[in-house]
Amino acid sequence: MVVGLIGVLALQGGYQRHADHLDRCGVKWCLVRNAETLARCAALILPGGESTAITRLLQAEKLLEPLRRFTQSHPVMATCAGLIMMARSNDARVESLNALDLDVARNAYGRQIKSFQCSIQIDLGTDSDSFPAVFIRAPQIMQYGPSVTVLAQHQGSPVLVAQGWHLGMTFHPELSDDLRVHRYWLERIAALHDAVVSQKESLCKT
């Protein structure tokens, strides 16, 4: 389904649950803790966690700039803190990767004690259907640009968005047994990759 190795950033946060989902999806994956491993990957998952801590660890491992370059040319799936990193945050301590045209507010729903799960309607290219979304100290998407497609909302705010090869969400799909969000991202990568290859082949023939 996907060409190449899927990386999961493994500096902090709930990366193992994403790896378990990738196993169930039947794709090859690796944990990413340095630039050398990142360079082997065809796509990457940025998991939830604590965005300021992830920023410090990326800087300590000299991984911030390689990751920034990676996001400009490779597909990324970003959940919760990962989404904050990919977007523009209201917290100056977070280094933005500037890969998603979003403005986000950290911890918009409150502290850990106010975490919750609810069913949201998601649009993954077929019929809209419900998905069990887990929100833990979740960010809120305050604004988004014209290149961003909203795939799900909660109480009027976007919680699942797509932009090019990237997929971002404010909730934790890996904490559910439901694989649809991960599968959608993997299928989206495969479809876009096939389209690029087809276009290149057409150009070579002209």
The CATH number linked to 187 is 3.40.50.880
Count of residues for the chain? Answer: 206
57 has which bridge partners?
A: none
Taking residue 54's Cβ as centre, other Cβ atoms within 10 Å add up to 25
Q: Which residue has the higher pLDDT, 197 or 108?
A: 108
In angstroms, rounded to a whole number, what is the distance separating the alpha carbons of residues 100 and 87? Answer: 5
| Per-residue model confidence (pLDDT) at position 113 | 62
Kindly state the percentage of the chain with pLDDT values over 90.
78
Please tell me the total count of domains within the chain.
Answer: 1
Which of 202, 181, 184 is CA-nearest to residue 192? 184
Q: What is the pLDDT of residue 109?
A: 73
Here the tokens at position 196 are 């690029």
For 182, the domain range is 5-205
pLDDT of 111 over the 70 cut: no
- Taking phi first (over 0 means left), then psi (-120 to 50 degrees means alpha), and beta for anything else, what does residue 64 get? alpha
- The bridge status of strand 149-154 relative to strand 157-163 is antiparallel
Identity of residue 80: C
Q: Residue 92 corresponds to which amino acid?
A: A
pTM listed for this prediction: 0.91
CA distances from 64 to 141, 142, 169 (A): 23, 25, 21
Task: Tell me what percent of the chain is helix, strand and coil, each rounded to the nearest 5.
Answer: 35, 30, 35
Owner of token pair 């990759």: 193
Q: 168-181: per-residue pLDDT in tens?
A: 999 999 999 999 99
Backbone angles phi, psi at 166, to 5 degrees: -90, 150
Q: At 189, list the tokens.
A: 């990568």
Report residue 159's pLDDT band, with 50, 70 and 90 as the boundaries.
very high
Task: Give catalytic residues, as residue numbers.
Answer: 80, 172, 174
| pLDDT at res. 200 | 46
Instruction: Say if residue 98's pLDDT is above 70.
Output: yes
Residue 148: partners with Cβ closer than 8 Å, 6 or more residues away: 100, 101, 102, 158, 161, 162, 163
Q: What band does 204 get if pLDDT is binned at 50, 70 and 90?
A: low
